[in-house]
Chains A and B, each alone.
Chain A
Amino acid sequence: MLTAIRAFFAGRGVLEVETPIASRAGVSDPSLEALSTCWHGPGSPTGSPLFLQTSPELPMKRLLAAGSGPIFQICKVFRDHERGRLHHPEFSLVEWYRLAWDHRRLMGEVAELVRCALDAPGLPVEEVSYRHLFLDRLGLDPWHSDPDGLRSAAVGQGIQGADGLDLGTDGWLDLLLTHCLEATLGRGCMTFVYDYPPSQAALAQVRPGPEPVGERFELYVEGMELANGFHELTDADEQRRRFATDIDRRLASGRPVPPLDQAFLAALDAGIPSAAGVALGLDRLLMVKTGARHIDQVLAFPVERA
């Protein structure tokens, strides 16, 4: 599978790169927590923290700013607290960037890569916007929903314990997505969900308008989230505001605030070319390919035996 992926990019003139797995900067996204280790050496005699990457996104964007052109990377990423049937604290992904593309165009290339990696040339594609997914399946519009309405919807859908949960709008949408929608997505096909609420834009551009949308997409195959892509945010000021929002949310929930990636912000200041980027989980892709039910089935040694 890895050979097929490398050949896919070689044939398209996308350069393979490597960026540091351990970084002095941590992740700001409140939904992620990095593992960290400690480095001793010149300039750091008593040891300074190094964070294991949760994604190679920021250093890869620094390469784009430095003029790398289109790039891809196959690497290990690490996420604390994540363990289950589809989660393992250490996992593999392929991440790539295309210059002057938007997220919709990149979705097409993701589909081609998945067909190539799965050796399934006829695998069909289904595309649905986040708004229509919720409208069609649950009869609610995420752009015009509040926590109380979403709580009733979740209770109405029979999610046990929903009435006792304390969640914000995005938390309720995540609950409905994971409990009522995800399992039905990508059955016998690739389902792309695109154009997210601006509050879930993460590192994507927000397309302005009367009802702004975050230019982000997710790919689902056989009920599993496989990939997440963005039409990348390139505005340094907006990026600083999002980091600040992330940090406020971390402080509000009593979570640690890691050092921000100042070199990434400097790269944004210097100017990053317009690009679309995506990360695709390779362990889950292998699960699809082999029909595995549990991520442990595609790992040589799960963390409990690592």
Chain B
Amino acid sequence: MAFYSTSEFRGGMKIMLDGDPYAIIENEFVKPGKGQAFNRVKVRNLKTGRVVERTFKSGDTAEAADVHDTQLQYLYNDGELWHFMDPASFEQLTADANAVGEAAKWIKEQDLCNVTLYNGAPLSVEPPNFVTLVITETDPGLKGDTSGGGGKPATLETGAVVRVPLFVQGGELIKVDTRTGEYVSRVKE
């Protein structure tokens, strides 16, 4: 098992605290001139996303978390679990709703996703920054209306609902920024 000492702590490093994997956000060194040195560390729980602070005595260690990021291809959802495949090894991995989270409403078969693995199992799934999806349902559009204002809700093939301009029609392909959940443009097939 690998251990990191407080002087090795830096942003992005993954450590174990109380049995959960955490990512270090910030490491602040605190020391009275004539006294004990401490590290006040801000960490994010990789399971819950919660940010907490933790104080270490300088020189103390924390166990390294077996966490790393990899690109996996989304295969299908069996109703309960999401199935992914490593495109290099063809190894298949499953992720539960907890791990997939918000990504569920953006990803469709064949998409390559950034997946964080913890002890070899998916901990969280990040959809591609931009996805192209078919509009399955939206109010009929007004031809010629190219203004940016207003807009209307449109339901996409994955179930996600985004606001689109009035001229966009059902059945069209659109590009969406998954980080903001916003419509970017129409896409020609």
Contacts and interface: CB of A to CB of B under 8 A. Distances in A.
Contacts of A161: 54-56
Interface string B18-39: 0000000000111111111110
A218 B55 CA distance: 24
B155 interface: no
A265 interface: no
Contacts of A162: 55
Given A160-B54, A161-B56, A179-B40, A170 B35 contact: yes
A240 interface: no
Interface stretch (A77-85, A106-114, A231-239): A77-85
Given A82-B31, A83-B29, A85-B28, A160 B52 contact: yes
Nearest to A172: B36
A175 B53 contact: no
A174 B7 contact: no
B57 interface: yes
A82 B54 CA distance: 19
B38 A178 contact: yes
Interface in A8-46: 29, 31
Contact of A165 (B33, B52, B55): B55
A174 B37 CA distance: 8
Given A31-B37, A174-B36, A200-B35, A81 B58 contact: yes
Q: What size tier do the contact residues of chain A reach?
A: 20 to 34
Contacts of B34: 29, 31, 200, 202, 228
Given A160-B55, A161-B55, A175-B55, A84 B35 contact: no
Contact of A84 (B28, B52, B57): B28
Contacts of B54: 160-161
Contacts of B32: 174, 177-178, 218, 225
A87 B58 CA distance: 14
A166 interface: yes
A108 to B, nearest CB: 21
A21 B53 CA distance: 38
Interface string A136-169: 0000000000000000000000011110011100
Interface in A85-138: 85-87
A175 B56 CA distance: 10
Contact of A175 (B28, B29, B36): B36
Given A160-B53, A160-B55, A166-B57, A171 B36 contact: yes
Interface in A211-230: 218, 225, 228
Contacts of B37: 31, 81-82
Nearest to B34: A202
Given A81-B7, A82-B29, A87-B29, A167 B55 contact: no
17 contacts: A31-B35, A31-B36, A81-B7, A81-B58, A82-B37, A84-B29, A165-B55, A165-B57, A171-B57, A174-B35, A175-B55, A177-B35, A178-B30, A178-B38, A179-B38, A179-B55, A200-B34
Please provide the 10 A-B residue pairs with the shortest distance between their CB atoms, ordered closest to farther. A84-B29, A174-B35, A174-B36, A161-B54, A171-B36, A161-B55, A178-B30, A160-B54, A160-B53, A202-B34
